[in-house]
Amino acid sequence: MLNPLLPQRAKITDVRLEAPQVKVLTLKPRKEMIFEAGQFLELSLPGVGEAPFAFCSSQYNSNEFQIAVQEKGVVTSALFHKNQDSYVGVRGPYGRGFPLEKLIHKNLVIIAGGIGLAPLRSVILSILHHRSIYKKVQLLYGTKCEEHRIFEKEFPSWQKQGIDVKVTLDQCQPQWKGNIGIITTLLDKYKTVKHTLAFVVGPPIMYKFVLKKLKKLKFKDDEIYLSLERRMHCGIGICQHCSLTNGKYVCKEGPIFSWSEIKNLPNVI
């Protein structure tokens, strides 16, 4: 029987600086890793440690995938300085992703804050892989300042393929001529169409304001999906680092939850 905690070897085939302190790494595992947009993997560095990362590439490419690395902690800082052709350990995928199957007869509004666009890029690229079967898709994206936006160079291509991209900055910058304000200002300025699901990823403080605005716009609890941030470690519900108060684990039942599943849990966001 295979040990579910045993990582496989993966080669870093490409390293791209995406924003200050953010790099996108392309990884090629020894064996293909079939995943869904919104799921995560555990990446390990010998002598350093292990940390969870969301997939940020299309779910339809299982032979090679991408992750976004923000230089922040011990593992991410060490990984940030890894070069192309280096090797790491990976295991997964783990958890539950975004319900793309529910979008067949629905529209979608994607709400991303900062580095939160990374797992949602996986949703966007997966949708673009079969663009004709999906309806309207709107991306609302906010960051503190312009230089911290990730995947900005891809926005024109996404727009050409029918993704309506709207961005805003928290802080006013002299050279910026676009929207200014927190991300909920985009929901005030741009109308969402009917029969819409909302996929939300960003800092926890953002969730409170976005949820309040979405409820005001008459979104039902089971039409809102968000990713929970918890200290996931084992990925399979053994270590209990990411346990919720109802006996569920973010690594197993999440990290993607509908608001109807978790709205009554204390301190969930």
- Please tell me the least confidently modeled range out of 3-12, 25-34, 48-57: 3-12
Alpha helices in the chain (DSSP H): 74-80, 117-129, 155-160, 184-189, 204-216, 250-253, 259-262
pLDDT score at 237: 85
**pTM (two decimals):** 0.95
Amino acid letter at 231?
R
The answer to whether the peptide bond before residue 156 is cis (omega within 30 degrees of 0) is no
Q: Is the pLDDT of residue 254 over 50?
A: yes
Q: Is the pLDDT of residue 96 over 90?
A: yes
Q: Grade residue 238 by pLDDT with cuts at 50, 70 and 90.
A: confident
Close Cβ partners of 7 (under 8 Å, ≥ 6 residues apart): 42, 43, 44, 50, 89, 90, 91
Q: Record the tokens describing residue 223, joined without a space.
A: 């039409």
Q: Is the pLDDT of residue 176 over 70?
A: yes
Q: What is the overall mean pLDDT for the chain? A: 92
Contact 211, 220 (CB under 8 A): no
Please give the domain boundaries of the chain with CATH numbers for all domains: 8-94 (2.40.30.10), 100-227 (3.40.50.80)
Q: Is the pLDDT of residue 248 over 50?
A: yes
Q: Is 189 helix (H, G, I), strand (E, B) or coil?
A: helix
Instruction: Give the chain's radius of gyration (CA, Å).
Output: 18
Q: Is the pLDDT of residue 59 over 50?
A: yes
At 77-90, the pLDDT tens digits run 999 999 999 999 99
Contact 269, 207 (CB under 8 A): yes
Amino acid letter at 179?
N
- Please tell me the least confidently modeled range out of 157-166, 172-181, 203-212: 172-181
Q: Grade residue 241 by pLDDT with cuts at 50, 70 and 90.
A: confident
Contact 73, 99 (CB under 8 A): no
pLDDT score at 268: 85
Q: How far apart are the first and last CA of the chain?
A: 37
Q: Record the tokens describing residue 114, joined without a space.
A: 């900062």
Q: Grade residue 2 by pLDDT with cuts at 50, 70 and 90.
A: low
Mean local confidence (pLDDT), 133-143: 95
Measured distance CA(158)–CA(15) in Å, rounded: 22
Q: Is the pLDDT of residue 211 over 90?
A: yes
Q: Grade residue 113 by pLDDT with cuts at 50, 70 and 90.
A: very high
pLDDT score at 1: 47
Contact 163, 124 (CB under 8 A): yes
Residue burial 54-65, b: 16+ Cβ < 10 Å; e: rest: bbbbbbebeebb
Mean local confidence (pLDDT), 149-157: 96
Mean local confidence (pLDDT), 203-219: 94
SS3 content of the chain, % helix, strand, coil (to 5): 25, 30, 40
